[in-house]
Amino acid sequence: MRTLSTSRKSIRYVSAAELSVAGATTTVDPVEFAAAEPDPLAADEAELLCHLDRHHPRTIEQLCRLVDPRHRHGVRRVVPVRLDRHGLVLRMEHASGHRDVRLGFAPALRHPDELGGRIAVLLDHGAACPRRVRTWPT
């Protein structure tokens, strides 16, 4: 990225962009990158994640029911680490490392006001999953 400074403002030019997801990297056209809409949760992501982590441990526990049981085995702690229009990422911490698991929203949300409804849908799906004994401390 190049930055040109003028007396009033800085102008940034993107010459190349790459997106890496699950180990696969894709080149993104700079024009498409510049035209992309920002994620509707980007401005509030950190605050929302901290709120979920600090004030809703039972919600996190219920969401964990959506995670494949083999990934829940031996979990010591679960932390919400990412939140965007496509879903919530929970970090399943084990003694030997961690695994990040995405719980997707369907469809992707378009406005922050839709977040509560998308979380409710995930919780409903989680309620239908077999309850497991929680293996991490609160």
pTM over 0.85: no
Q: Which fold has domain 38-138?
A: Split barrel-like (3.20.180)
Task: Report the C-alpha gap between 109 and 82 in whole angstroms.
Answer: 15
2's tokens: 């190049």
Average pLDDT over residues 66-80: 91
DSSP state of 107: S
Task: Report the C-alpha gap between 54 and 62 in whole angstroms.
Answer: 15
Domain boundaries, the chain: 1-36, 38-138
Average pLDDT over residues 66-71: 89
78 strand-pairing partners: 92
